[in-house]
Amino acid sequence: GAPAIEAPAWCASADHAVSVGKGAVGTFRFALTADKPDMLRISPRMDAATVDLANRLVDEMQLGNAGRTDIISVSLTATDYVGHATGTEGAEMCIQMAELDKNLGRLFDHLDAAGIDYLVVLSADHGGLDTPERSDEQAFPRAVRADKSLMPAELAKAVSAKTGISTKGPLLIADGPFGDFYVSRELDAAQRAQVVRALLAIARAHPQVAAAFSGEELANTPLPAGNPQDWTLKDRARASFDPTRSGDAVILLDRAVTPIPEPIPGAYIATHGSAFDYDRRVPILFWRKNMLGFEQPQPVETVDIAPTLAAILGLKVREGQFDGRCLDLDAEAGNSCDRGQ
């Protein structure tokens, strides 16, 4: 077990209980009991253990001190677990952010003590949406949980009733009420097309659905260009679509809809995966000792990280090797991207 973690004073505004399902969130302090060891991963202590391991690896493998450039990738996952279990705007996430800052500080202090010259890149793999019960209290009354009628089994019943088509196994296969929907391969091509048409008609008529597309429609749509912040929902769906792997249909929920009809407080109440910017956008931070800081408000992309690092390291990379572009980290007249040329 482990005691509760003290909440910083600035977390006070987030520190209040919100009823969710059969429980509540918003005030948990991450006290751990010996009979629930799995709760470690849903707490800042998971990141602390990860940083402990990273510091040991730096020492044992002599990273940065062996006359070569080394890369260590440290995945701090507690933020994701805390967000899923308690949402993003309660005392739990506020505490997690404060503890994450401390743990990153421990990592950097360890590198400093070893006299290592290092460059840090911080980013994330996605954003997230807070639990709708709290969003509803905070001036967003549209925030709701997905209607159970949008779950794959319920949609399959509606499609069968509309088309008269049924299968021995599941008619529709999907992870939940949004994203890729696959039609049973028990059916022939004509029947699958009929099912897709019926599914799209049902989905598009539902008030919680923002858009729905057939796989064929997306496959025939050109890949979008320009910055994703300016893309339509169809553009965003197309950018994630692979004709060899994606669904026969793709359903996108309204931005206010959480695709978890039945929440489990402390385990799974909020998620991510939509096409909207609150899920799509992530921070990207580069930091090095004596680097002159600046903020670039214009969008860049995660695929820009690798070519940026390659240039800093002076690697010679042929044109077209990376999907992204090098970002000039020199805030003055110089250009850090020139080093890789």
Instruction: Give the up-direction half-sphere exposure of residue 241: CA atoms within 13 A in the CB hemisphere.
Output: 27
Q: Are residues 166 and 188 in the same domain?
A: yes
Q: Are residues 23 and 125 in the same domain?
A: yes
* Enclosing domain of residue 55: 9-137+279-291
Please give the pLDDT value at position 317. Answer: 86
Q: Are residues 15 and 116 in the same domain?
A: yes
Is 160 among the domain residues?
yes
Is 337 among the domain residues?
no
CATH number at residue 155: 3.30.1360.150
Q: pTM of the entire structure?
A: 0.93
Please give the pLDDT value at position 262. Answer: 97
Cβ atoms within 10 Å of 213's Cβ, excluding its own? 23
Q: Are residues 47 and 89 in the same domain?
A: yes
Is 269 among the domain residues?
no
Please give the pLDDT value at position 319. Answer: 85
Is 340 among the domain residues?
no
Please give the pLDDT value at position 340. Answer: 57
Is 322 among the domain residues?
no
Is residue 147 exposed (0-12), middle (13-18) or buried (19+ Cβ within 10 Å)? Answer: middle
Q: Could you tell me which residues come within 8 angstroms of residue 20 by beta carbon, excluding any fewer than 6 positions away? A: 87, 131, 133, 263, 265, 269
Cα(13)–Cα(20) distance, integer angstroms: 19
Bridge-based pairing of strands 119-122 and 18-20 is unpaired
Chain center to CA of 231: 19
Q: Are residues 219 and 248 in the same domain?
A: yes
Bridge-based pairing of strands 144-145 and 257-258 is parallel
Tally of residues, the chain = 341
Q: Are residues 199 and 118 in the same domain?
A: no
Q: Are residues 150 and 228 in the same domain?
A: yes
Is 286 among the domain residues?
yes
Q: Are residues 246 and 148 in the same domain?
A: yes
Q: Are residues 73 and 94 in the same domain?
A: yes
Please give the pLDDT value at position 320. Answer: 87
Specify the number of domains making up the chain.
2
Give the DSSP H or E segment for 98: helix 91-113
Can you list the residues of the chain whose pLDDT is less than 50?
none
Is 106 among the domain residues?
yes
Cα(97)–Cα(79) distance, integer angstroms: 8
Q: Are residues 49 and 100 in the same domain?
A: yes
Q: Are 144 and 38 in contact (CB under 8 A)?
A: no
Q: Are residues 44 and 70 in the same domain?
A: yes
Please give the pLDDT value at position 341. Answer: 58
Q: Among 240, 255, 270, which residue terminates a domain?
A: 255
Q: Are 288 and 107 in contact (CB under 8 A)?
A: no
Please give the pLDDT value at position 66. Answer: 82
| Cα torsion angle, 7, 11, 15, 19, sign | negative
Buried/exposed code over 186-201 (b: 16+ C-beta within 10 A; e: otherwise): ebeeeebebbbebbbe
Cβ atoms within 10 Å of 93's Cβ, excluding its own? 24
Please give the pLDDT value at position 185. Answer: 97
For the chain, give percent helix, strand, coil, nearest 5. Answer: 40, 10, 50
**DSSP letter, residue 299:** -
| Closest by CA position to 134, among listed 273, 5, 43, 256 | 256
Q: Are residues 26 and 133 in the same domain?
A: yes
Is 302 among the domain residues?
no
